[in-house]
A and B are shown apart, each in its own frame.
Chain A
């Protein structure tokens, strides 16, 4: 088994209400080490050397992001923790926030020290409102103990938009604007929140930081594959006997997670990465889970043989059309057009030419949309056309 607990080390071990239980397990020792024994540049070097990549789905090298923000001119900088876990089928961040808010706070504190930020934000998903009190309590306790003297951490709540998990829409939302994506460049590390250098990291990315600082980059570097270091927390749901949160070393086979750990049977396909994730048919279930192959934010949705692919893709597209922010034309109009075409296939009223139209539309949306939502929205369509083309052809009137 390749289960390994780095991120979830303290989950269900410590009491999330009391900082003392965290302190007995090396709590805030990494922050102390970072502040007393290391310069900000050394911290960034350490994170860079560890090979840690963003766990929110895009996999951007974490250290590089920090370095860009550190070197960007300006005194006012921000750290944002993206806890807007909106991807369909992910619940790993909820599990982390519920069980171990202290490691996250320590991670944010180290990040703030590294880039020179005096203000940090946790952008909490509207649906996670019930976690607010526990997070506020954790921040207050850390403050009382004097760990947060260099940075203020505030919590900002979202209002329920999927697109606000996208970093630029998230910043708009924190600024009090309508959550809409911005074009890039400029990227957030040079011009982010209120036009100031900002780093935005996923909850899970920041959870790795304290351990990298404590145990060193070379320890972290040994875990995982060549370009995917460390572990990844997966949320497994769907047609499985044991749904839940699993932490695996990167590079583990999908088969192991789905069949051996989550005990799925008669699998037809697995969607890796949520609504806009890749579809993996059963004969490719030996694929490794890593940044080189497939990963996303770690949502693993398993579908067994009783499920209809077109139904799944159609409903996914309905969701994406509703959640499109409406700013750029390919995403706003394209998702709507896809819903219409897929709806006809769903009702077995497809037309021969629709398949080609779907392919051309997918390509245009992927190439020209402003943000990840529009660029990734056609993935379920193109993947299902690649692996389950018969299902489409059988639905032609």
Chain B
């Protein structure tokens, strides 16, 4: 058996070591450096779609996605240089520009990862006036409700369904700005296989996927008591 090599890299000025095959993101997290991610999820194979986790690596013409780039011996990485932060901000701004923006009405507003990243990077109202994505809410299935106007195309549901649930329900259709997570030939989701698995709902970073609300559900919780 081959021995796993130790690799030493410089990350934000300090020398740290990791193992062969580790990604920049993993090493950063191990050393307490926070790199924002959106499409990445540790339980899924990396895809590098959102580009929010980009970092600067010396000698590289462009920034590199930290969630999929393996570390190499002697790499010099900057995770929070001005260039990196500026780029991340623009990407988040772009995602917000086409996002429906109804956070006040969104059930997931307080757990939304897009909103959290935007707040962390101090991104306010986006400067771009692109089209908003608009799709009707799909609530045919009693188990899953899809509001693709809120989708940021991170592919998490697609990968989770393929890799964890092993049902391969979702796919991507169309291209460019019109890309969309679809079921079959862009039909509302009403699959038999989509029942109680919930894997995609839990992994969705925004409010695009949710459990349909049952009648009277709001009233089932504990009464809200405001103490003075």
Contacts and interface: CB of A to CB of B under 8 A. Distances in A.
Contact of A368 (B69, B91, B179): B91
B63 to A, nearest CB: 5
Interface residues of B, number: 38
Contact of A340 (B65, B130, B178): B130
Given A337-B128, A368-B91, A323 B176 contact: yes
Interface string B120-146: 000000011111000000000000000
B165 interface: no
Given A357-B127, A357-B128, A363-B86, A326 B176 contact: yes
Contact of A332 (B69, B90, B127, B177): B177
B62 interface: yes
B177 A321 contact: yes
B148 interface: no
Contacts of A369: 51, 62
B175 A323 contact: yes
Given A321-B176, A326-B177, A328-B48, A340 B129 contact: yes
Interface in A157-198: 161, 163, 178, 180, 183, 185
Interface in A330-354: 330, 332-337, 340-341, 353
B86 to A, nearest CB: 7
A47 interface: no
A370 B51 contact: yes
Candidate in B51, B52, B174, B179 with the most chain A CB atoms within 10 angstroms = B51
B112 interface: no
Contacts of A326: 153, 172, 174-179
A105 B174 CA distance: 35
B148 to A, nearest CB: 14
A305 B73 CA distance: 53
Given A321-B177, A333-B97, A367 B54 contact: yes
Nearest to B171: A178
Contact of A333 (B62, B63, B98, B127): B98
A326 B173 CA distance: 10
Contacts of A329: 49-52, 91, 94-95, 152-153
A333 B175 contact: no
B51 A330 contact: yes
Interface in A305-338: 321-330, 332-337
Interface in B56-110: 62-63, 65, 68-70, 83, 86-87, 90-91, 94-95, 97-98
B20 to A, nearest CB: 13
A360 interface: yes
Contact of B49 (A324, A327, A335, A357): A327
B130 A336 contact: yes
A148 B16 CA distance: 52
A326 B172 CA distance: 9
B46 interface: yes
B83 A336 contact: no
Given A333-B95, A334-B94, A368-B87, A185 B130 contact: no
Contacts of A340: 128-131
B11 to A, nearest CB: 18
Contacts of B175: 161, 163, 322-326
A80 to B, nearest CB: 22
B23 to A, nearest CB: 11
Given A185-B70, A326-B153, A370-B49, A332 B87 contact: no
A78 to B, nearest CB: 23
B122 to A, nearest CB: 15
A327 B49 CA distance: 6
Contacts of A375: 62
A334 B97 CA distance: 10
A332 B63 contact: no
B51 A337 contact: no
Contacts of A180: 172
Interface string A148-160: 0000000000000
A361 interface: yes
A363 B82 CA distance: 13
A370 B176 contact: no
A180 to B, nearest CB: 8
A335 B97 CA distance: 13
Nearest to B46: A183
A335 B178 CA distance: 12
8 contacts: A161-B175, A322-B175, A322-B176, A333-B95, A333-B97, A334-B94, A360-B86, A361-B128
